[in-house]
Amino acid sequence: MSGALLEAQDLSRRFGGVVALRRVSFAVAPQEIVAVIGPNGAGKTTLFNVVTGLLAPTAGRIRYRGADLAGLSPARIAALGIIRTFQNPMVFGEMTVAENVMVGCHRWTRTGLLAAALALPGAIHEDRLVSRAALEALVLVGLRDRAADPARDLPAGQQRLLEIARALAARPTLLLLDEPTAGLSAGEARHLVEVIRRLRADGITFIVIEHNMDVVMEAADRVIVLDYGEKIAEGTPPEIQRDPRVIAAYLGEEPDAVPAAGVSLP
Amino acid sequence: MSGERLGLAALAVALAAVPALAPTAYVVTLLNVIGLYAIVTLGLILLGCSGQVSLGQAAFYGLGAYTSALLSRDLGWPPAATIPLALGLVAGTAYVVGVPTLRLAEHFFVLATLGVGIIVNVLMVQLVPLTGGASGLRDIPGLALPGVRITTDRQFYYLIWTLVFVTLILARNITSHRTGRALRAILGSEVGAAALGVEVSRYKMHVFVLSAVYAALAGALYAHYIRFISPSPFSLYASLFFLIMAVVGGLTNIWGGLLGAAAVTILDQIIRAEVPRVFPRVGGEYQTAIYGILLVLIMIFFPSGIVRGALDLRRLLVRSAARPAPVPAGAQDPPTLGDPPPVAPRAKPADGGGGM
């Protein structure tokens, strides 16, 4: 797939004797919404960690817009426009909600130590821009009212939304969301799906680790299924729903033991 | 944030009036010392904003003092040139120290700075031909800036406190803009900050070098002010002293730097003067012990520094006083680091521009 935004090729990652990812290959096209699903411990978060440079792959490579990401630091990869959220939100607890999102703007702002120290007009101007962008991102996820509160005061679900707002403020090209709807109410989750769709229309590409099958079915163009570090299936949501290997993985059976037909997802 | 500006202006006016009103020369001298310590502490607090702690700050303080003293005394260069040179040399030293040590995890970084502090202090004692060894360096030239000679306590007072204000405002500006947010993000979560494109190690290096330069500035001023230096004020004990000032002030609170330096210095003076009177037969170690106990108490009751502690206490009192009709939390929020984001009234949801 030459038009791919992100392309992973035979990606493997071991931790000692444990294989967290085994020869995983996939490609993501611009403005696609790809869901990554799989049982706990399937390697989903490891995949995100490898793509964002937090972990080096043991083998295989990742290309982003045709360029190899090997050896780049997480900050460099973020600078290229690949932004992620974390399964356990990494909010900056001592900072306010708005300041957290302002850090998200780091990628596309330039004020350095000296300009800041002297409060040069450029720094002041940029700061205004940044606080406006931060508030816009907070409005989008519905956290506008909490802007001035310390981030540590937010409940877990809202910390997740804060992290998403922060990631959006970074103006990502590719956004990796790790279980974005965990801890959200059904209504909040639905709203988030809407937001994701709207942002896709604006040009953002998404890879989403998601457990909530309703969200996957509703939002994803394509689904990648991992099990024990291997990609066992890939396809549209309806295809995945019917795939016997996927059903087996979720039911905890060996693929060989799956009857040829007549099984549907519970 | 006009409240903060007002406070700054009021403090400036009060400090400017001190020499005229001060009952004794002792007050001016004490304030000079506090000012010098405040500059070092401000550097430590900048470092603290990024979650780092240094136990080697006295080494940079001392290097600044010795460099400027030696260049001006032995080579006859004017202090106006030797002070910037000392700052440059210390910046370079901090960079070289930082390259290997900043990669280390937090507590190992602290140990590394501790090691640097010890090495520098040993060199001051042992390099006798250069540093004069334990007996120190005498006859350091006073400050002669172009046009003015600064010699008296009172002249130094104005110079030192002008520089305290300059370094304070620079530090405040840094913490309230992009760089400062990045530093505080690093304190919150290095992984989270890096995932947003913050070059964590670069920022740590910048702020470490800057904190060393702050210490060097205070050290160089000290050398030309006292005109005699020896290794003892730059020992490990001094590093600890600076760190305590920063911690008492609140390790991430710029204003705390000023208060921490003042509180600890004054406390130290009181203990030195009062303990021998109250307990005539105890030695100097007991003074240090009492001092330690007081600090432990502060740490227990005001773990985030006396400034934050006092503000929290006030908020608590205000809240309990206003219990029947609770005031919205944001309304009486005390000034803290950085400008709070402009927040428009809740009723206007969509366009965020209203507050700006």
pLDDT per residue as tens digits for the range B147-192:
778 888 888 999 999 999 999 999 999 988 899 999 999 999 999 9
Output the six-digit token pair for A109. 């702002």
Residue among B89, B36, B35, B29 at smallest CA distance from B215: B36
Percentage of the residues of chain A whose pLDDT score is greater than 70:
93
Q: What is the pLDDT of residue A252?
A: 63
Structure tokens at A257: 């033991």
Residue A21: per-residue pLDDT: 95
CB B320 within 8 A of CB B332: no
pLDDT in tens, A85-131: 999 999 999 899 999 999 999 999 988 888 888 888 888 899 999 99
In Å, the largest CA–CA distance within chain B is: 73
Cβ-nearest to B197 among A75, A113, A118: A75
Q: Which two tokens stand for residue B190?
A: 């290095």
Cα dihedral B190→B191→B197→B199 (10° resolution): 40
Q: Which residue of A has its CA nearest to B346?
A: A145
Place of tokens 């540590």: A152
The distance of B195 to chain A (nearest Cα, Å) reads 6
Inter-chain contact B184–A130, Cβ cutoff 8 Å? no
Banded model confidence at residue B323, pLDDT cuts 50, 70, 90: low
- Pairwise CA distance, residues B143 & B140, whole Å: 9
**Cα dihedral sign for B31, B37, B43, B44?**
negative
Residue A110 DSSP SS3: coil
Q: For residue B249, is it within any domain?
A: no
Tell me, what's the pLDDT at B270? 84
Cα distance between residue B66 and residue B220, in whole Å: 7
For tokens 């909600």, name the residue: A97
Beta carbons of B222 and A133 less than 8 angstroms apart: no
What confidence score (pLDDT) does residue A62 get?
Answer: 96
Is the pTM higher than 0.95? no
CA B36 to CA B30: how far, in whole Å? 10
Q: Which of B4, B172, B177 to mutate to test the interface with A (most CBs of A within 10 A)?
A: B177
Per-residue pLDDT at B152: 85
Average pLDDT over residues A201-229: 93
Tokens of A31: 């403005």
The gap from C-alpha B207 to its chain's centroid, in whole angstroms, comes to: 13
Residues of A in contact with B95 (CB under 8 A): none
Number of domains in chain B: 1
Mutate to test the interface with B, among A45, A97, A99 (most CBs of B within 10 A): A99
Q: Which residue of A has its CA nearest to B187?
A: A92
Tell me, yes or no, whether B80 lies in a domain: yes
Average pLDDT over residues A206-219: 92
Please indicate whether, in this complex, the C-beta atoms of B333 and A139 are within 8 angstroms of each other. Answer: no
Contact B252 A123 (CB under 8 A): no
Read off the pLDDT of residues A119-151 as tens digits, 9 standing for 90 and up.
888 888 999 999 999 999 999 999 999 999 999
Write down the pLDDT at residue A110: 87
Best residue in B5, B49, B169, B178 for a mutation probing chain A (most A CBs within 10 Å): B178
Distance CA B231, CA B137 (A): 9
Residue B2, in any domain of the structure: no
Specify whether the CB–CB gap between B261 and B249 falls below 8 A. Answer: yes
Q: What pLDDT was estimated at residue A172?
A: 96
- Other CB atoms within a 10 A radius of the CB of residue B351 amount to 12
Please determine, for residue B88, whether its predicted confidence score (pLDDT) is greater than 60: yes
> What is the reported pLDDT for B346?
37
The residue of chain A nearest to residue B204, with distances taken between CA atoms, is A113
Tell me the per-residue pLDDT of B95-109, one tens digit each, with 9 for 90 and over: 999 998 888 777 788
Task: Answer yes or no: do B179 and A111 touch at CB < 8 A.
Answer: yes
B210 interaction partners in chain A (CB closer than 8 Å): 113
Residues of A in contact with B48 (CB under 8 A): none
The residue of A48, A90, A118, A174 whose CB has the most chain B CBs within 10 angstroms, and thus the best one to mutate to test that interface, is A90
B178–chain A nearest CA distance, Å: 6
Please check whether residue B70 lies inside any domain of the structure: yes
Low-confidence winner among A160-164, A224-228, B252-256, B295-299 (lowest mean pLDDT): B295-299
CB atoms within 10 A of CB A173: 18
Residues on chain B touching A126 (C-beta within 8 angstroms): 178
A–B CB contacts, 8 A cutoff, strictly below: 142
Orientation angle between helical segments A97-104 and A156-169, nearest 10 degrees:
40
Q: Is the pLDDT of residue B327 over 50?
A: no
| B243 vs B16: CA distance, rounded Å | 28
Q: Has residue B350 been placed in a domain?
A: no
Share the mean pLDDT of chain B. 83
E-state strands within B82-152:
143-145, 148-150
Domain boundaries, position B181: 24-235
* Chain A residue closest in CA terms to B338: A99
| Residue A1: pLDDT over 70 | no
Q: Does a structural domain hold residue B176?
A: yes
Residue located via tokens 């409005």: A139
> Does residue B72 have a pLDDT over 60?
yes
Q: Looking at the domain assignment, is residue B7 inside a domain?
A: no
Cβ neighbours of A105 in B, within 8 Å: 178
What average pLDDT score do residues B112-132 get? 92
User: Is B284 a domain residue?
Assistant: no
Burial A226-264 (b: 16+ CB within 10 A, else e): bbebbbbbbeebeebbebbebbbbbeeeeeeebeeeeee
Query: Which residue of chain A is at minimal alpha-carbon distance from B206?
Result: A113
Query: Which has more confidence, B301 or B194?
Result: B194
Q: A163, A217, A171, A175: which is closest to A193 by C-alpha?
A: A217
The residue in chain B having the minimum alpha-carbon distance to the alpha carbon of residue A113 is B179
Asked if B352 and A139 come within 8 Å (Cβ–Cβ), the reply is yes
Least confident of A30-44, B144-158, B303-317, B326-340: B326-340
Chain B: which residues have CB within 8 Å of chain A? 170-171, 173-174, 176-182, 184-185, 187-189, 191-200, 206, 210, 252, 329-330, 333, 338, 340-343, 346, 349-350, 352-353, 355-356
Between B258 and A257, the higher pLDDT residue = B258
The pLDDT confidence band at residue B337, using thresholds 50, 70 and 90, is: very low
DSSP code for B354: G
Residues B46/B217, Cβ–Cβ less than 8 Å:
no
CA distance B305 to chain A (A): 15
Which chain A residue lies closest to B210 (C-alpha atoms)? A113
CA–CA dist A25, A234 (Å, integer)? 10
Q: How confident is the model over A167-186, as pLDDT tens digits? A: 999 999 999 999 999 888 99
Distance from CA of B316 to the nearest CA of A (A): 17
Residues B223-241: tens digit of each pLDDT: 999 999 999 999 888 898 8
Which residues of B fall within a CB distance of 8 Å from A135?
A: 341, 352, 355
B163 with B33: CB under 8 angstroms? no
Q: DSSP labels for A73-84?
A: -HHHHHHTTEEE
CA angle A220, A39, A57 (to 5 degrees): 85
Structure tokens at B31: 């304030």
Do B184 and A112 make contact, defined as CB atoms within 8 angstroms? no
For A115, the closest chain B residue by CA position comes to B174
Helix (H), strand (E), coil (C) string for chain A: CCCCCEEEEEEEEEECCEEEEEEEEEEECCCCEEEEECCCCCCHHHHHHHHCCCCCCCEEEEEECCEECCCCCHHHHHHCCEEECCCCCCCCCCCEHHHHHHHHHHHHCCCCHHHHHCCCHHHHHHHHHHHHHHHHHHHHHCCHHHCCCEHHHCCHHHHHHHHHHHHHHCCCCEEEEECCCCCCCHHHHHHHHHHHHHHHHCCCEEEEECCCHHHHHHHCCEEEEEECCEEEEEECHHHHHHCHHHHHHHHCCCHHHCCCCCCCCC
Out of B173, B195, B353, name the one closest to residue A74 (CB).
Answer: B195
Q: Which of A103, A112, A147 sits opposite B193 (nearest CB)?
A: A103
Strand order in the sheet with A59-64: A18-28, A6-15, A59-64, A67-68
Q: Does residue B267 contact residue B37 with C-beta atoms inside 8 Å? A: no
Spatial contact of B188 and A93, defined as CB atoms under 8 Å apart: yes
What pLDDT score was predicted for residue B261?
A: 92
Q: Out of B173, B252, B352, name the one closest to residue A116 (CB).
A: B173
Structure tokens at B314: 């006030």
**Tokens found for residue B256:** 């705390």
Q: What percent of chain B has pLDDT over 90?
A: 44
Supply the pLDDT for residue B291: 66
Report d(CA A195, CA A192) in Å as an integer. 5
Cβ-contact A172, A104 below 8 angstroms: no
Q: Which residues sit opposite A209 in a β-bridge?
A: A36, A178
Chain B nearest C-alpha distance from A246 (Å): 31
Angle at which helix B25-49 crosses helix B200-226, to 10 degrees, equals 170
Quick check: helix, strand or coil at residue A9?
A: strand
Compute the C-alpha angle A33/A35/A40, nearest 5°: 160
How does the average pLDDT of chain A come out, rounded? 90
Contact yes or no for A211/A119 (Cβ under 8 A): no
pLDDT the model gives residue A251: 67
- In whole angstroms, what is the distance from residue A156 CA to residue A145 CA? 16
